[in-house]
Amino acid sequence: MSAEHRAPQSKSPDNKVYIFDTTLRDGEQCPGASLRNHEKLLIARKLAALNVDIIEAGFPFSSPGDFESVKQIATEIQGPTICGLSRATPQDIEATWDAVRYAQKPRIHTFIGTSDIHIQAKFKKTRQEILNIARDMVALAASKCPDVEFSAEDAGRTDPFYLYKVIEAVIDAGARTVNIPDTVGYTIPDEFGRLIKGIMTNVPNIDKAIISVHCHNDLGLATANSIAGIQNGARQVECTINGIGERAGNAAMEEVVMALKVRPEYFEGIYTDIESVHFAEASKMVSELTSMPVQYNKAIVGRNAFAHESGIHQDGFLKGRSTYEIMMPEWIGLSESYLPLGPRSGRAAVKARLEKLGLVVQDAQMPQFFEQFKQLADEQKRVEDDDLKRLYEQILASA
């Protein structure tokens, strides 16, 4: 089916994927990406405009500034659930509750490592001790807040059968969302999908909780792993604008959302409530405030995502945009696609740009114009509108 024509899809609540944005928490942990409190509030407002379901506003116990920022977002942002992160310790949970309690819809998100690597190297405890801590701290959080999420840090490298026991225990203790993070971006999509499927099959009380996924991009597989999680039963995805985050980053919200939007027939009715027309603005805002440029070839929001320079591609696009575009730029808030003119551009693109500029080159003059265009393109690699206007004036003068 072409990008221009899509049949409306019926929406079942069971097929909704909740979008949990952690740009202000995990995203801000990216080296060099620290934000001031008023900048975090600006981003939170944009996230609310995007209609994200949950905003993870920060890590309240980590610093007084982060506590105040989470509290301010909880107080001022309406619509999304406002979440704060806490380690599985009483002091973290108390601080998180004190920050998010002002929200219309507060959430406490507590976590502890469950892989043997974390249990032995970081905590120097036994599996049973970690399970007991997870259960008890979820129970403490649930005594304060009706919406509690638990994350099994490094779940991607955790023994699945131990993971099933931990998940069952925290759901019994009051967790209503259980997050399965690929904390170090280690898993492969098929492997991660099987992990989620195993949880859905082997945890007896799984019907009482939503399974979430939080995938890192160390092997460039964060979006693919998130999609694999969705296909196997996960109904919350934790992600960031532009994919920013620790090390190589997180799953990019815009990539996950647009994959579901562009391929609805493949995902059999799975959807999000994201207002994708805000993606371009949100990407630009996060990039500017964090001083982290978006790579030109970044999917969805990169400068070249809707740009076509090859003459063959430009000609095909001008004849029918679905030849080389699978989505409309308007879907993410851009006004149009872009056909940059350079050494590989063909006559069709040059003629189309001239017409857009209101410049008429007669058919008899076009070979000469195009030859001079190619010479200029080879010299400076990119031909801008002002260059075309100068060439046009030279052709008129020589006529």
**What does the pLDDT look like over 211-264, one tens digit per residue?**
999 999 999 999 999 999 999 999 999 999 999 999 999 999 999 999 999 999
Average pLDDT, rounded, for the chain: 93
Does residue 222 lie in a domain region?
yes
Instruction: Kindly state the DSSP code that residue 238 receives in the 8-state scheme.
Output: E
Span 365-391, average pLDDT: 89
Higher pLDDT among residues 397 and 44, named by residue: 44
Indicate if the pLDDT at residue 9 is higher than 50: yes
> Is 86 a domain residue?
yes
- Is residue 225 a part of any domain in this protein? yes
190-207 residue pLDDT tens: 999 999 999 999 999 999
202 lies in the same domain as 283: yes
Does residue 266 sit in the same domain as residue 329?
A: no
Least confident interval from 7-16, 42-51, 64-73, 260-269: 7-16
What's the CATH code of the domain at 366? 1.10.238
Work out the pLDDT band at 10, boundaries 50, 70, 90.
low
Q: Cβ(203)–Cβ(228) under 8 Å?
A: no
- In this structure, the answer to whether residues 283 and 319 fall within a common structural domain is no
Spatial contact of 258 and 332, defined as CB atoms under 8 Å apart:
yes
Q: Note the pTM of the prediction, 2 decimals.
A: 0.91
Interacting residues of 367 by C-beta distance below 8 A, sequence separation 6+: none
Residues 191 and 58 in one domain: yes
Residues 284 and 315 in one domain: no
Q: Are residues 278 and 322 in the same domain?
A: no
Give the pLDDT of residue 337: 87
Confidence of residue 2 (pLDDT cuts 50, 70, 90): very low
> Do 222 and 342 sit in the same domain of this protein?
no
Average pLDDT over residues 106-112: 98
Residues 22 and 92 in one domain: yes
Question: Does residue 87 or residue 345 have the better pLDDT?
Answer: 87
Tokens of 44: 């939170």
Confirm whether 374 is domain-assigned: yes
* Same structural domain, 222 and 262: yes
CATH at 231: 3.20.20.70
Domain count, the chain: 2
Q: pLDDT tens digits for 250-309? A: 999 999 999 999 999 999 899 999 999 999 999 999 999 999 999 999 999 999 899 887
What ranges in the chain are assigned the alpha helix state H? Answer: 37-50, 64-76, 90-100, 116-117, 127-144, 160-173, 189-202, 222-231, 253-262, 264-267, 279-290, 311-319, 347-356, 366-380, 385-398
**What residues contact 307, with CB distance under 8 A and at least 6 apart?**
337, 338, 339, 340
User: Once rounded to an integer, what is the mean pLDDT over residues 311-334?
Assistant: 88
Give the pLDDT confidence score for residue 182 in this predicted structure. 98
Please give the residue that has the higher pLDDT: either 311 or 290.
290
Instruction: Mark whether 221 and 267 lie in a shared domain.
Output: yes
Assign 108 a pLDDT band (cuts: 50, 70, 90).
very high
pLDDT above 80: residue 102: yes
Domain span at 362: 311-398
Q: Which of 257, 290, 323 is the last residue of a domain?
A: 290
Residue-wise pLDDT for 130-188, tens only, equals 999 999 999 999 999 999 999 999 999 999 999 999 999 999 999 999 999 999 999 99
293 burial type by CB count under 10 A (0-12 exposed, 13-18 middle, 19+ buried): exposed
Res. 125: pLDDT tops 50: yes
- Domain assignment of residue 120, yes or no: yes
Residues 212 and 323 in one domain: no
Q: Report whether 153 contacts 111 (CB < 8 A).
A: yes
The answer to the question of residue 246 being in a domain is: yes
- At which residue do the structure tokens 């942990």 appear? 29
Q: Do residues 327 and 207 both lie within one domain?
A: no
pLDDT at 7 over 60: no
297 part of a folded domain: no
Give the pLDDT score at 188.
98
Q: Does some domain include residue 320?
A: yes
